[in-house]
Amino acid sequence: MHRYLKKAVCYLAILICVPYFVTAFLNGSGRGGSVEVDETYVRVESSESGDGSGNGADIADVDENGGGSKNRDSSGGRDVDDDSVKNSGSKERNGNNSNLRGSKKIIEMPLEDYGISVMAKEMPGSYKKEAWKAQAVLVRTSICEKMNQDGSDTVLEQSYLTDAQKKQLWGSNKYYSYYNKLKKAWEETDGEILTWKGKPAYAPFCRLTNGSTRDAKESLGEEYPYLKKVTCPKDLENEWQIQTTMEKKLDAKVTALDSAGYVKKVRVGEEIMSGEAFREKYHLASSSFILQKYAGKLRIITCGVGHGYGMSQYTANEMAKKGKTYKEILGYFYKKTKIREVAEIVQGEGGRKNQVGK
């Protein structure tokens, strides 16, 4: 009797949990269930301003050559620090599905639309399909991780591009071809996320490294052993690799680097701060930088674009050009992680297991 009761409880738990998670995370092409895309909604912070201009998302730094003058990377919804890791087509279905969160407007939109719109902000539309498929898995993983942490009350905060912004960025001639490329990348990786030890992985990425990615063990601790230092020689050829800025009357000196050449510590006056904090404070393109005194000022030379952790989008595209698949791309940057389907993780059995890195 006890055995039958235990089995009944397990089945009840599955019946309760699976619909929520499948609805929340899968975009419903039919591999893992019958959820339709148009019926799958998530709550997000609107990227549109009150006049519908979409001023909440900045597209000025998205460059078709894989660079950008601003910080272009993602930390999976977390703040990356050298010492620790802290924790389109929007649609209001009716008047009750939109509210305010402080000064931010909360709306509901289809998961697929949101995922594609986040992707559009993260990478140049001209990049190859397999690079986009890798990016789709990373974006879905970030969404899954966030919802796994916050539960049913999750409000997704990652900025995205509205349809109007996509057209502004890509131009009317390329809008449909680029949009369809992203849509196919999302659909062809339907439900897939990157996992570590059976859970959604923390999977940061950056626009362009300084020639290699960073080993997380050196700066973030033992928690992310799959984030290893790997070489990205093609990144050195990108036109945005070296950028220079000048600061007046700034007394600063780099005091510690990691093995990839990214700044761990920098002294500013009497204060010691992390390389990431310095990068953010002075709006640098990268946390790999050199400080030089020049003509009474401080010259800052940056290498790469972003924090240097995880996948280099530029190298991912170069790998795609050479025929590498999205699984091979992800395996290169996230060692020994696995691509799994969300339904498989929730149900605890069945589905596929694809180890993507050795």
At 33-79, the pLDDT tens digits run 433 433 578 899 987 643 333 334 444 455 666 665 554 566 554 54
Q: Rounded to whole angstroms, how far apart are CA atoms 23 and 58?
A: 29
CB 121 within 8 A of CB 178: no
Where are any strands of DSSP class E within 140-239?
192-196, 199-200, 205-206
Q: What is the pLDDT of residue 148?
A: 82
CA proximity to 22, closest of 307, 344, 355? 344
Cβ contact 338:356 at 8 Å: yes
Alpha carbons 356 and 340: distance in angstroms, whole number: 10
Sign of CA dihedral 229, 230, 231, 237: negative
Low-confidence ranges of the chain (pLDDT < 50): 1-38, 49-60, 71, 77, 79, 82-98, 100-101, 349-352
Residue 304 contacts residue 210 (beta carbons within 8 Å): yes
pLDDT tens track for 123-173: 999 999 999 999 999 999 999 988 888 877 889 999 999 999 999 999 999
Quick one: pLDDT at residue 194? 97
Name the residue type at position 358: K
Joined together, the tokens standing for residue 235 give 């990144």
* pLDDT value of residue 68: 59
* Residue 229: Cβ-neighbour burial (10 angstroms; 0-12, 13-18, 19+): middle
Q: pTM for this structure? A: 0.79
